[in-house]
Amino acid sequence: MPGSFGYVETRRVVLFTEDDPLVLSSGATLAPVEVAYETYGTPAPDGSNAVFVCHALTGDAHAAGHHGDPARTGWWDTLIGPGKPIDSERLFVICPNLLGGCRGTTGPSSPDRTTGRPYGLRFPHFSVSDLVAVHRRLLAHLGIRRLYGAVGGSLGGMQVLQWALDRPGEIEHAVLVCASSRLTAQNIALSAVARASILGDEHFCGGDYYDSGRNPDVGLSVARMLAHITYVSERGLELKFGRGRLREAPTFGVDFQVESYLEHQGRSFLERFDANSYLYLSRAMDYFDPFADEEGAVERLRDSGTRFLVVSFDSDWRFPTAHSAEIARVLERAGCTVQLEEVSSPWGHDSFLLEVPRYHELVAGFLGAAVAVR
Query: For 231-235, which contacts have Cβ atoms below 8 Å and span 24 or more sequence positions?
Result: 231/318, 231/348, 231/349, 231/350, 232/347, 232/348, 232/349, 232/350, 233/315, 233/316, 233/317, 233/346, 233/347, 233/348, 233/349, 235/315, 235/346
Which of left, alpha, beta for 70 (phi over 0: left; psi -120 to 50: alpha)?
alpha
Using the CB atoms, write b or e for 259-292: b if 16+ within 10 Å.
eebbeebbeebbeebbbbbbbbbbbbbeebebbe
Q: Which residues are catalytic?
A: 154, 316, 349
d(CA 21, CA 32): 7
d(CA 217, CA 269): 9
Using the CB atoms, write b or e for 118-147: b if 16+ within 10 Å.
bbbeebbbbbbbbbbbbbbbbbeebebeeb
How do 337-343 and 92-96 pair as beta strands?
unpaired
d(CA 10, CA 13): 10
Any binding-site annotation on 350? Answer: yes
Any binding-site annotation on 333? Answer: no
Annotated binding site for substrate: 224, 350
